[in-house]
Structure 1
């Protein structure tokens, strides 16, 4: 198949580089995925926080859910590529909906996952 050892080495180098590029871009099946639960405290109910959370999650392409609690907080779960989940964590703790006031966001049960456990992002009641 290969005319020389140099051709074989060149071929192997190209395969290695393509694998590295695919891995960094998340194309490969083993893309780094994670899941995290969250609870957001402050003035986060009655200010469209869930709607904006769902919108932001869809923009980032992460999966999960969000809902209000009886204690006046908002809870949920986010799953997706680690960098996108990280962006969502920043949004949940610093940005929120325009009329909200975030006192703090608590993240728990953060873990790597081999594949997404849910599809899409929605509001639960």
Structure 2
């Protein structure tokens, strides 16, 4: 990862994203891309989290969150915070919190 710009971004995904293994598929995809972060269900029926890693991998994950998700999910929209530059990874390997 040397020489690559690292960023961190928060996200929230709306639609049919709970009870359809969305968190599991998100974790698998993030790990496949070598990203750090976390994902969790919210009481509002959404899924939220943070992703961190090389800029292009994070942007690819954002596209995945907006359009792919799990096979049984129905994504209405995804919202993202700003891409914040980080010097080194501050998050742990990707994890499902709840």
TM-score interval, smaller chain: over 0.9
TM-aligned CA deviation for residue 118 of structure 1: 1.5
TM-aligned CA deviation for residue 31 of structure 1: 2.2
Larger Rg: 1
Structure 1 residue corresponding to 2:60, chosen from 84, 87, 95: 87
Structure 1 residue corresponding to 2:71, chosen from 73, 78, 98: 98
Moved >3 Å (runs of 4+): none
Aligned pair count reads 98
List alignment gaps of at least 5 residues for structure 2. none
Higher relative helix content: 1
Alpha-carbon RMSD: 0.9
Q: Indicate the residue corresponding to 2:34 in structure 1.
A: 61
Structure 1 residue corresponding to 2:21, chosen from 41, 48, 53: 48
1:3-54 deviation digits (Å, cap 9, x = unpaired): xxxxxxxxxxxxxxxxxxxxxxx4x3x4200000000000000000000000
TM-score normalised to structure 1 length: 0.76
